[in-house]
Amino acid sequence: MALSCSSLCSQLSLIRHCRLGKNRITHGLYSPYVVCQFRLPLCRHYSSSEVRRGFARYVASKLQWANTKYEDFLKKRFPRFFLLYHTFVEGFKLLFRDAKDIRRIKGKMWSDGVKFQDLPYRDMEKLRQFRRDLIKAIPLVIISIPPFANYLVFVLMYFFPRQLLIPHFWTPSQQLEFRRVYHSLRARHHWPVLKGLECTSQQVKNGHLQRQLKDLCAKVQSGANPKVSEILAIRSLFSGPPLGIRRMSVDHMRHISPLLFLTPRLPGFLIGQRLSSHGLELLQLDRGLSRLGVHQLNDSELRQACYLRGLNADVLGVNQCREWLSQWLQVSSSLKDSEVSLLLHSIVFLSANYPSGPSHH
């Protein structure tokens, strides 16, 4: 229990009286034995360290009380601002908790010599997402360091939440809205990717493979969902020219990049490197997910896994998400590292029309 001001002052005066009494009594009529008998019980119960701890608890309780009153005031008088304030505070809690988890995962990798692809799926996904979030969150953290700078952060949160903030600082309604916006931006590149594949098919010398690629593109463009076997039938075209990860044209790579939320405004060789690294990372995540099993994911993890791989899972049921993710893993589990380009194109093949109807409708 926190000490009150009056009780704290009385304890301090008693200790001070105890110390002064030592000089008076030892030079007076009382023996040292009597002095010890008087001082020991009092000092045992009210030592200076306990007084400091009691004072710290008292201050902490008062600060907590003041913070609660402040939040109640904001909630009643300024509910919209309170929502931003609450989101800001909870966002930093989540961010620091994730940082703690990342430290644990990194420590395990260093001490046990575990590589990224050998980690459990949830650890792999947390590492991947934290890297992306951290790059975007660093400016926000720096801005928040000076005194009263958090008010500037509130302004940024209010006017530019999607552009400047990571999902930790989004409200639940904003998370749904922004995922829908990002998916619509991604879906704009479905048809350019299919058109690019049609043009590239003219470079395929094998007539049978050329016809299969054209048929697959036509099927997706018509609004149908292709089978896994139809996608895997053309896998050899995506390990070398003309559709390998480093063999595609720069224009085609610029349409593939937004499918992974990567900027296309970079030199061609950098786009190729980023597509290769992100594609291999996604392939490693798929292998980790296959080891774990789709049914082991909770609803939130399931929707996030689908969203990462190109599907707007917020408008689908859990069973639909699980069915789609199982189809994706059937394709992914059959691919080699050299065929990762087909995995990136499968974002269009599998998600453009799922569950029904073209994505541009």
Q: What is the pTM of this model?
A: 0.76
| Residue 361 forms part of a structural domain | no
Tokens of 314: 């917020």
SS3 call for 266: coil
Confidence of residue 140 (pLDDT cuts 50, 70, 90): confident
- Mean pLDDT across 257-284: 95
pLDDT on residue 209 = 95
As a whole number of Å, the CA-based R_g of the chain is 31
pLDDT at 23 over 60: no
* Helix pair 207-221, 340-351: axis angle to 10 deg: 40
Q: Give the separation between CA 238 and CA 248, rounded to whole angstroms.
A: 9
The string over 96-134, giving b where at least 16 C-beta atoms fall within 10 Å of a residue's C-beta and e elsewhere, is eebeeebeebeeebeeeeeeeeebebbbbbbbbbbeebe
| Residue 235 forms part of a structural domain | yes
The string over 33-52, giving b where at least 16 C-beta atoms fall within 10 Å of a residue's C-beta and e elsewhere, is eebeeebeeeeeebeeeeee
Q: Is pLDDT larger for residue 41 or for residue 167?
A: 167
Residue whose pair of structure tokens reads 């893993």 in the numeric block? 329
pLDDT on residue 324 = 97
Asked whether residue 197 falls in the same domain as residue 164, the answer is: no
Decide which of 27, 54, 76 is a domain's last residue: 76
Q: Give the separation between CA 109 and CA 234, rounded to whole angstroms.
A: 37
Tell me if 295 sits within 8 A of 326, measured CB to CB.
Answer: no
| Residue 337 forms part of a structural domain | yes
Q: Give the separation between CA 107 and CA 112, rounded to whole angstroms.
A: 8
Asked whether residue 129 falls in the same domain as residue 202, the answer is: no
Write out pLDDT tens, residues 145-159.
Answer: 777 677 777 777 778
Asked whether residue 23 falls in the same domain as residue 162, the answer is: no
Tell me if 2 sits within 8 A of 57, measured CB to CB.
Answer: yes
pLDDT at 142 over 70: yes
| Residue 272 forms part of a structural domain | yes
| Residue 331 forms part of a structural domain | yes
Report the C-alpha dihedral over residues 238, 244, 249, 255, rounded to 10 degrees.
70
Q: Give the separation between CA 11 and CA 1, rounded to whole angstroms.
A: 15
Q: State the total domains in the chain.
A: 3
Confidence of residue 11 (pLDDT cuts 50, 70, 90): very low
Confidence of residue 67 (pLDDT cuts 50, 70, 90): low
Out of 43-52, 58-67, 260-269, 276-285, least confident range: 43-52
Write out pLDDT tens, residues 295-304.
Answer: 999 999 999 9
Tell me if 185 sits within 8 A of 194, measured CB to CB.
Answer: no
Asked whether residue 128 falls in the same domain as residue 246, the answer is: no
Asked whether residue 22 falls in the same domain as residue 70, the answer is: yes
pLDDT on residue 2 = 39
Confidence of residue 41 (pLDDT cuts 50, 70, 90): very low
pLDDT on residue 263 = 92
Tell me if 25 sits within 8 A of 11, measured CB to CB.
Answer: no
Write out pLDDT tens, residues 76-122.
Answer: 776 777 777 788 888 888 889 999 999 999 999 999 999 999 999 99
**CA angle, corner 182, sides to 179 and 186, nearest 5?**
130
* Mean pLDDT for all residues in the chain: 83
| Residue 329 forms part of a structural domain | yes
Q: Give the separation between CA 51 and CA 328, rounded to whole angstroms.
A: 63
SS3 call for 204: coil
Q: Give the separation between CA 195 and CA 296, rounded to whole angstroms.
A: 37
Q: Which residues contact 187 (CB under 8 A, 6 or more apart)?
A: 312, 352, 359, 360
Asked whether residue 319 falls in the same domain as residue 195, the answer is: yes
Confidence of residue 9 (pLDDT cuts 50, 70, 90): very low
Asked whether residue 159 falls in the same domain as residue 300, the answer is: no
- Mean pLDDT across 220-228: 95
Tell me if 180 sits within 8 A of 187, measured CB to CB.
Answer: no
Asked whether residue 60 falls in the same domain as residue 199, the answer is: no
pLDDT on residue 258 = 96
Write out pLDDT tens, residues 186-217.
Answer: 999 999 999 999 999 999 999 999 999 999 99
Out of 30-44, 184-198, 255-269, least confident range: 30-44
Tell me if 337 sits within 8 A of 281, measured CB to CB.
Answer: no
Asked whether residue 226 falls in the same domain as residue 346, the answer is: yes
pLDDT on residue 90 = 87
Decide which of 76, 102, 132 is a domain's last residue: 76
pLDDT on residue 169 = 84
Confidence of residue 74 (pLDDT cuts 50, 70, 90): low
Residue 59: burial class (beta carbons within 10 Å; 0-12, 13-18, 19+): exposed
pLDDT on residue 145 = 77
pLDDT on residue 16 = 41
| Residue 335 forms part of a structural domain | yes
Confidence of residue 32 (pLDDT cuts 50, 70, 90): very low
pLDDT at 52 over 90: no
| Residue 360 forms part of a structural domain | no
DSSP class of 114: -
Report the C-alpha dihedral over residues 56, 62, 63, 67, rounded to 10 degrees.
160
The percentage of residues in the chain with a pLDDT greater than 90, rounded to a whole number, is: 58
Decide which of 29, 57, 76 is a domain's last residue: 76
Asked whether residue 108 falls in the same domain as residue 209, the answer is: no
Which domain does 203 fall in, by range?
Answer: 187-351
Tell me if 120 sits within 8 A of 292, measured CB to CB.
Answer: yes
Asked whether residue 153 falls in the same domain as residue 192, the answer is: no
The percentage of residues in the chain with a pLDDT greater than 70, rounded to a whole number, is: 80
The closest of 322, 348, 361 to 225, measured between CA atoms, is 348
Asked whether residue 217 falls in the same domain as residue 330, the answer is: yes
- Mean pLDDT across 5-12: 40
pLDDT on residue 47 = 60
